[in-house]
Amino acid sequence: MLSRTVDEDPRVALLKELVDPLRLRVIDRLGHAGPATVSRLAAELGVSLPQLSNHLRRLRDAGLVSVRRSGRQAIYELADPGLQQLLPLLDSITGRVLAEAPSPTSPPTVPSRTCYEHLGGEIGVAVYRGLRERDALRPRADGMVSLGPAAAETFGALGLDVEALDPGRQRLAFECLDSTERAPHLAGALGDAVAGTLVGRRWIRRTPGSRVISLTPSGARGLRSALGIELTAR
Query: Could you state, in order of their start, the residue ranges of all structural domains in the chain?
Result: 6-78, 84-227
pLDDT in tens, 159-180: 999 999 999 878 899 999 998 8
Q: pLDDT band at 139, cuts 50/70/90?
A: very high
User: Which of the following CATH numbers is that of domain 6-78: 1.10.1740.10, 1.10.10.10, 2.30.180.10, 2.30.30.20?
Assistant: 1.10.10.10
Q: What is the pTM of this model?
A: 0.82
**Cβ atoms 216, 204 nearer than 8 A:** yes
Alpha-carbon separation of residue 74 from 42, 43, 70, 111, 143 (angstroms): 13, 15, 6, 35, 31
pLDDT in tens, 2-26: 455 556 788 888 888 989 999 999 9
Share above pLDDT 90 across residues of the chain, in percent, rounded to a whole number: 65
Q: pLDDT band at 103, cuts 50/70/90?
A: low
Alpha-carbon separation of residue 203 from 94, 156, 171, 197, 206 (angstroms): 30, 15, 25, 9, 10
Distance CA 174, CA 146 (A): 8
CA atoms within 13 A on the CB side of 229: 24
Share above pLDDT 70 across residues of the chain, in percent, rounded to a whole number: 92
